Amino acid sequence: MSTNPRGQGRKYYSLSQRVDQISPSGIRKFFDLLASIEGVISLGVGEPDFATPWHICEVAIESLGKGYTMYTSNLGMPELRQELSRYLKANYNLEYDADSELLITVGVSEALDLAMRAILDPGDEIIMPDPCYVSYDPCVVLAGGIPIMVPTNEENSFEIGAADIEARITSRTKAILIGYPANPTGAVMSRDKLAEIAKVAQRHRLLVISDEIYAKLVYGVEHTCFATLPRMKEKTVLLGGFSKAYAMTGWRIGYAAAPREIIAAMTKIHQYTMMCAPTMGQVAAIEALRAGEESAAEMVKDYNRRRLIMVKGLCDIGLSCFEPKGAFYAFPSIKCTGMTSEEFAERLLTEEKVAVVPGSAFGEYGEGYVRCCYATSLAEIEEALARMKRFVDKYRKG
Ligand SMILES: Cc1ncc(COP(=O)(O)O)c(C=O)c1O
């Protein structure tokens, strides 16, 4: 702590109140602890255990020799935007102009931040589900907005209800932020239920920001791209990325597809803060879009096998588990132990060396649950389940 050099006793600097308002990520805190313990099985970090498919790495490596080591256009490489435009047309029959309606970002993380900063004025409200991805609430707060949480629970399959959203709309509401398939619950919403949200959005002239980073990771159900709902393309900011489906978390590439005015506003912020997304990552993303489908589908098949084993294993232990239909997370209830989710996660880590994330890291309504990421080997999942059984048997109440 530093004081004013003129000795007036005042603190030399003060931090932004907005930053003071947010807490460090509950996930990261855990991983710092985990790094100090040996022999831990991690069901913690939400990232694929697969390496990026080699053909994608190879194209990126070759690009260095070809001189792709400089800035790209602020919007992202034209070839990538064109490829993405083709991809969105082929997969969703949506037409986005590659020069004005698409922006390549540093992961969906940056796209989320830009979207919030582009639309929010101080005091504006964004409605979102609770529990939800750890960044949603802080991104809104850092952009000067107010997150308005809609509780979701196991009984409503962790789906955000249109009526619950409508009940929270005020004159300050700017947008609805959703992310299905969901982190941390694995919930996927049906087209019909999303259409009800679309109707509420239209009735109240709200934007919908739809984080679809897990779009490809669905099991036995279909993913609905929110922008494909009737008359919603021009009212939706679609966020997508390469981290999860193509096992490319470290390449840091995501995108936003939205009406041109919104993309222009997001680009203004992006050009002054980021300049552009990493060039090598963009080259890799082009290859992923052109030739990555097969490897992505293989990984999804594998996640599905692990999902079934993880969910059955948790239920057998007696941790009741909502069946996740998407992403790569199971979200079992730990209420039978009488512990808080943070206590459960800390003790499981220190006593049995299994890392899970406390549900409370994802919001108030995540309490009573923990997030178990099954993007890890079957052998590790099975060993983690055996350790968790020992732990739960020891502490189960009643
Ligand atoms: C729901 C959700 N959105 C966005 C992100 C950020 O992804 P990216 O690596 O594209 O920044 C994550 C990462 O875990 C996520 O789970």
Q: What is the pLDDT of residue 6?
A: 61
SS3 label, residue 358: strand
Identify whether the C-beta of residue 60 lies closer than 8 Å to the C-beta of residue 74: no
SS3 label, residue 255: strand
Cα 135 to middle of ligand 1, angstroms: 8
133 lines ligand 1 (CB under 6 A): yes
Identify whether the C-beta of residue 342 lies closer than 8 Å to the C-beta of residue 358: yes
Residue among 70, 73, 175 at smallest CA distance from 120: 175
183 lines ligand 1 (CB under 6 A): yes
Identify whether the C-beta of residue 333 lies closer than 8 Å to the C-beta of residue 253: no
Q: Which two tokens stand for residue 44?
A: 């913690």
Which ligand 1 atom lies nearest to the CA of residue 254? 10
Cα 267 to middle of ligand 1, angstroms: 20
Q: What is the pLDDT of residue 32?
A: 74
Which ligand 1 atom lies nearest to the CA of residue 47? 14
Cα 392 to middle of ligand 1, angstroms: 30
SS3 label, residue 248: coil
Amino acid at 246: Y
Cα 394 to middle of ligand 1, angstroms: 35
User: At which residue do the structure tokens 């998407």 appear?
Assistant: 326
Q: What is the pLDDT of residue 326?
A: 98
Residue among 213, 254, 208 at smallest CA distance from 228: 208
185 lines ligand 1 (CB under 6 A): no
Amino acid at 119: I
313 lines ligand 1 (CB under 6 A): no
- What is 173-218 written as a DSSP string? EEEEEE-SS-TTT-----HHHHHHHHHHHHHTT-EEEEE-TTTT-B
Q: What is the pLDDT of residue 37?
A: 86
Compute φ and ψ for 246, nearest 5 degrees: -110, 15
246 lines ligand 1 (CB under 6 A): no
**Residue of 109, 177, 251, 357 to mutate, ligand 1, most atoms within 8 A of C-beta:** 109
Per-residue pLDDT tens listing for the chain (398 residues): 445 556 567 789 888 999 988 887 767 667 777 778 889 999 988 889 999 999 999 999 999 999 999 999 999 999 999 999 999 999 999 999 999 999 999 999 999 999 999 999 999 999 999 999 999 999 999 999 999 999 999 999 999 999 999 999 999 999 999 999 999 999 999 999 999 999 999 999 999 999 999 999 999 999 999 999 999 999 999 999 999 999 999 999 999 999 999 999 999 999 999 999 999 999 999 999 999 999 999 999 999 999 999 999 999 999 999 999 999 999 999 999 999 999 999 999 999 999 999 999 999 999 999 999 999 999 999 999 999 999 999 998 86
- Angle in degrees, 0-180, between the axes of helices 341-352 and 378-395, rounded to the nearest 10: 110
Q: What whole-number distance in Å separates Cα of residue 275 and Cα of residue 112? A: 16
**Residue of 183, 218, 253 to mutate, ligand 1, most atoms within 8 A of C-beta:** 183
| Strand 102-105 relative to strand 254-257, pairing | antiparallel
Q: What is the pLDDT of residue 1?
A: 45
Q: What whole-number distance in Å separates Cα of residue 53 and Cα of residue 133? A: 26
Enumerate residues 6+ apart whose C-beta is below 8 A from 20.
none
Identify whether the C-beta of residue 159 lies closer than 8 Å to the C-beta of residue 189: yes
Per DSSP, 373 falls in state E
In this prediction the pTM is 0.95
